[in-house]
């Protein structure tokens, strides 16, 4: 071989090596034109109402792709049904990481489901970003630096309701109902913390339910028999609708506090019966499309136009669509901050450096993180169901 031929081959080798070196710093699933993201959602099963979140996220990424993607890369959103079943979540997550080669796991739904794959993902240094769950233990960067939640945590939300009862209903007789898992225990613990040591003594009944239970009828009848006039209820949408309906049908009239995870007009209040849902209190951090005060809000108009185009089968009254829309916006900001460096390390670095508002968050509430604070959203406002929609009251408060 001549020196000229050798030099040509050497230069060609360098040309091949440069793109490879540039690619090496990026996560699996990242190419010059694409970033592949993995997700699990309960599109079937007892928690299927939450599937609206995954569909909204997919619609938002479709819009972003039509606009050219993020920093020149389009998003390949691989979202799989896990039926809200931990073994299925493990199976689907392993498929996403090992077969589909996603860059990271994003917005997978559920506390018990997400915790089953947390160790697996952290050991492999695969980001587990913006989990759709408010468990307080997602905010643990020292032990699980590759895992971060998104919504206000359940324990803080529980404290908000507990403090309200202690302040406004000092003679209340209190009943507590929650899902028998880490999420439910988080809510119950926070609620009792908010009540304080003296008001905790006013709890006259406490019971749980399993996600495999057919109904909550027996629990509601048991709690009613306690004589309680206040009910704190943490349940997923299917069971929340059952509880509201049963409470009304048996003639029980407690002041009913319902966790924000089920504060959906279309998924809970309408199936339960609008007339049976009156007076229920919850907490919010997003603008509710059913609240007329936002009718002329530019952000709401942009959102409803987007929903009509990119998720046309969705119910505009379903707050879970707002959640998916906003979570997707936060992720797009993370990817923008990453620039050309989409290594898993840099993705987590940027997730931990957020300070932003989102158009569908309530005024005064923003997304904020730091390397020692993995709780992006921390504030809420109380709301009461009146007529056919939620009505906000009080100030922005933290737990």
What span, in angstroms and rounded, lies between the C-alpha atoms of 287 and 300? 8
CA-wise closest residue to 255 among 319, 162, 328, 185: 162
What span, in angstroms and rounded, lies between the C-alpha atoms of 44 and 32? 35
Q: Would 305 be classed as within a structural domain?
A: yes
Q: Would 19 be classed as within a structural domain?
A: no
Q: At residue 91, what are phi and psi to the nearest 5 degrees?
A: -60, -50
Two tokens at 167? 């302040």
Instruction: Count structural domains, the chain.
Output: 2
Is the Cβ–Cβ distance between 164 and 154 less than 8 Å? no
Q: Would 388 be classed as within a structural domain?
A: no
Q: Would 105 be classed as within a structural domain?
A: yes
Clarify whether residues 222 and 342 are in a common domain: no
Indicate if the pLDDT at residue 1 is higher than 70.
Answer: no
Reported confidence tier of residue 24, pLDDT bands at 50, 70, 90: low
Q: At residue 226, what are phi and psi to the nearest 5 degrees?
A: -75, -15
Q: What is the mean pLDDT of the chain?
A: 93
Clarify whether residues 267 and 163 are in a common domain: yes
Domain boundary residue among 231, 263, 284? 284
What span, in angstroms and rounded, lies between the C-alpha atoms of 343 and 218? 51
- Residue 45: which CATH number? 3.40.50.2300
State pLDDT tens for residues 211-253: 899 999 999 999 999 999 999 999 999 999 999 999 999 999 9
What span, in angstroms and rounded, lies between the C-alpha atoms of 326 and 380? 15
Clarify whether residues 95 and 166 are in a common domain: no
Clarify whether residues 259 and 159 are in a common domain: yes
Question: Which residue segment(s) compose the domain that 116 sits in?
Answer: 34-152+296-379
Q: Would 269 be classed as within a structural domain?
A: yes
CA-wise closest residue to 286 among 163, 150, 176: 150
Clarify whether residues 213 and 167 are in a common domain: yes
Clarify whether residues 159 and 279 are in a common domain: yes
Specify the pLDDT at position 399. 64
Clarify whether residues 141 and 129 are in a common domain: yes
Indicate if the pLDDT at residue 349 is higher than 60.
Answer: yes
Q: What is the 3-state secondary structure (H, E, C) of the chain?
A: CCHHHHHHHHHHHHHHHHHHHHHHCCCCCECCCEEEEEEEECCCCCCHHHHHHHHHHHHHHHHHHHCCCECCEEEEEEEEECCCCHHHHHHHHHHHHHHCCCCEEECCECHHHHHHHHHHHHHCCCCEEEEECCCHHHCCCCCCCCEEECCCCHHHHHHHHHHHHHHHCCCCCEEEEEECCHHHHHHHHHHHHHHHHHHHHHEEEEEEECCCCCCCHHHHHHHHHCCCCEEEEECCHHHHHHHHHHHHHCCCCCEEEECHHHCCHHHHHHHHCHHHCCCCEEEECECCCCCHHHCCCHHHHHHHHHHHHHCCCCCCCCHHHHHHHHHHHHHHHHHHHHCCCCCHHHHHHHHCCCEECCCCECCCCCEECECCECCCCCEEEEEEEECCEEEEEEEEEEC
Q: Would 368 be classed as within a structural domain?
A: yes
Is the Cβ–Cβ distance between 102 and 37 less than 8 Å? yes
Domain boundary residue among 284, 316, 334? 284
The residues, any chain, with a CB within 8 Å of residue 121's CB and separated by 6 or more, are 93, 97, 105, 127, 128, 146, 147
State pLDDT tens for residues 49-105: 999 999 999 999 999 999 999 999 999 999 999 999 999 999 999 999 999 999 999
Reported confidence tier of residue 8, pLDDT bands at 50, 70, 90: very low
CA-wise closest residue to 234 among 198, 201, 209: 209
Reported confidence tier of residue 19, pLDDT bands at 50, 70, 90: very low
Clarify whether residues 263 and 163 are in a common domain: yes
Per-residue buried b or exposed e for 11-32, using 16+ beta carbons within 10 Å of the residue's own CB:
eeeeeeeeeeeeeeebbebbee
Span 187-215, average pLDDT: 97
- Which strand ranges, in their side-by-side order, compose the sheet holding 379-386? 203-209, 174-179, 230-234, 255-258, 281-284, 379-386, 389-398
What span, in angstroms and rounded, lies between the C-alpha atoms of 348 and 341? 11
Span 22-35, average pLDDT: 84
Span 367-377, average pLDDT: 97
Q: Would 24 be classed as within a structural domain?
A: no
Clarify whether residues 148 and 79 are in a common domain: yes
Clarify whether residues 351 and 311 are in a common domain: yes
Percent of the chain with pLDDT over 70: 94
Domain boundary residue among 284, 308, 323? 284
Reported confidence tier of residue 3, pLDDT bands at 50, 70, 90: very low
Residue listed under structure tokens 């997919």? 58
What span, in angstroms and rounded, lies between the C-alpha atoms of 158 and 131? 19
Percent of the chain with pLDDT over 90: 92
């Amino acid at each position: 071989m001549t020196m000229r031929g050798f030099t040509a081959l050497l230069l060609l080798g360098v040309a091949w090596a440069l793109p490879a070196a540039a690619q090496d710093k990026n996560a699996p699933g990242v190419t010059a034109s694409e970033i592949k993201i993995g997700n699990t959602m309960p599109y079937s099963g007892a928690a299927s109402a939450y599937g609206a979140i995954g569909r909204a996220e997919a619609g938002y990424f479709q819009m972003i792709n039509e606009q050219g993607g993020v920093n020149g890369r389009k998003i390949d959103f691989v979202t799989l049904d896990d039926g809200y079943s931990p073994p299925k979540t493990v199976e689907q997550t392993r498929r996403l990481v090992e077969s589909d080669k996603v860059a990271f796991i994003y917005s997978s739904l559920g506390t018990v489901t997400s915790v089953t794959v947390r160790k697996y993902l952290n050991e492999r240094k695969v980001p587990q970003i913006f989990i759709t769950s408010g468990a307080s233990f997602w905010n643990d960067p020292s032990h699980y630096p590759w895992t971060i939640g998104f919504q206000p945590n359940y324990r803080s939300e529980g404290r908000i309701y507990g403090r309200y009862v202690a302040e406004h209903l000092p003679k209340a007789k209190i009943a507590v109902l929650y899902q028998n898992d880490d999420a439910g225990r988080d809510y119950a613990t926070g609620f009792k913390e908010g009540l304080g040591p003296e008001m905790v003594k006013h709890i006259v009944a406490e019971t749980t339910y399993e996600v495999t239970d057919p109904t909550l009828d027996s629990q509601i009848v048991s709690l009613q028999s306690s004589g309680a006039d206040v009910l704190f209820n943490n349940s997923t949408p299917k069971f929340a609708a059952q509880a509201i309906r049963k409470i009304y049908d048996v003639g029980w009239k407690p002041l009913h506090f319902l966790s924000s995870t089920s504060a959906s007009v279309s998924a809970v209040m309408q199936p339960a019966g609008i007339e049976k849902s009156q007076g229920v209190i919850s907490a919010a951090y997003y603008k509710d499309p059913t609240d007329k005060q936002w009718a002329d809000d530019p952000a709401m108009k942009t959102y409803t136009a987007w929903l009509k185009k990119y998720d046309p089968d969705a119910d505009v009254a379903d707050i879970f669509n707002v959640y998916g829309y906003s979570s997707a916006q936060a992720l797009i900001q993370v990817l923008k901050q990453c620039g050309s460096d989409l290594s898993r390390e840099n993705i987590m670095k940027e997730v931990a450096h957020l300070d932003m508002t989102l158009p569908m968050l309530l005024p005064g509430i923003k997304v904020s993180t730091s390397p020692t604070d993995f709780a992006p959203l921390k504030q809420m406002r109380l709301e009461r169901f009146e007529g056919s929609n939620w009505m906000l009251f009080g100030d922005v408060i933290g737990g």
